[in-house]
C-alpha cells in the first residue's frame, strides 16, 4: 500500500518533537541560551538537536514521559507527514520528509 499524505508539520525552530500530547502539560517552556541554562524542555531539545547525531530522546514527564526530538534537514518550514497503513487501514508508521 502506498504512503498517504496526512498533513504537514510546521517547524519554526529547525527541530521537531514527537510526544504523546498527555505529557505536554509537564512541558517547561523557556528560551535557549547556551551560556545560561535553566533546564527548560525547549533548552533540552536544542541541546539534543545541536549534538552531532542531531536527534534523540527527551524526558518530558517522569520516568515514562519520553519523546523524540530531531533537527530538520533544511531548517524552518512546512514538512509533509505520510502514513503507512496495514491491510485493515490502521496506521503502522509515520514518516516526516524533510527533503
Q: Are 26 and 60 in contact (CB under 8 A)?
A: yes
The arithmetic mean of pLDDT across residues 22-49, rounded, is: 91
Q: How many CB atoms lie within 10 A of CB 95?
A: 10
**Span 43-66, mean pLDDT?**
92
Query: In angstroms, how far is CA 24 from the centroid of its own chain?
Result: 12
Q: pTM for this structure?
A: 0.87
Work out whether the CA dihedral 47, 77, 82, 26 comes out positive or negative: positive
**In the chain, % of residues over pLDDT 90:** 84
Phi/psi for 65 (5° steps) reads -90, 60
Predicted local confidence at residue 1, as pLDDT: 58
Break the chain into its structural domains and give their ranges: 4-96
Q: How confident is the model at residue 63 (pLDDT cuts 50, 70, 90)?
A: confident
Mean pLDDT of 63-71: 91
Amino acid at each position: 500500500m502506498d504512503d498517504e499524505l496526512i498533513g504537514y508539520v510546521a517547524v519554526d525552530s529547525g527541530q521537531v518533537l514527537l510526544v504523546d500530547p498527555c505529557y505536554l502539560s509537564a512541558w517547561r517552556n523557556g528560551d535557549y541560551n547556551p551560556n545560561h541554562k535553566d533546564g527548560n524542555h525547549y533548552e533540552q531539545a536544542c541541546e539534543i538537536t545541536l549534538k552531532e547525531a542531531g536527534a534523540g530522546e527527551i524526558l518530558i514527564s517522569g520516568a515514562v514521559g519520553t519523546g523524540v526530538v530531531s533537527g530538520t534537514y533544511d531548517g524552518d518550514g512546512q514538512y509533509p507527514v505520510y502514513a503507512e497503513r496495514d491491510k485493515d487501514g490502521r496506521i503502522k508508521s509515520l514518516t516526516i520528509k524533510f527533503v
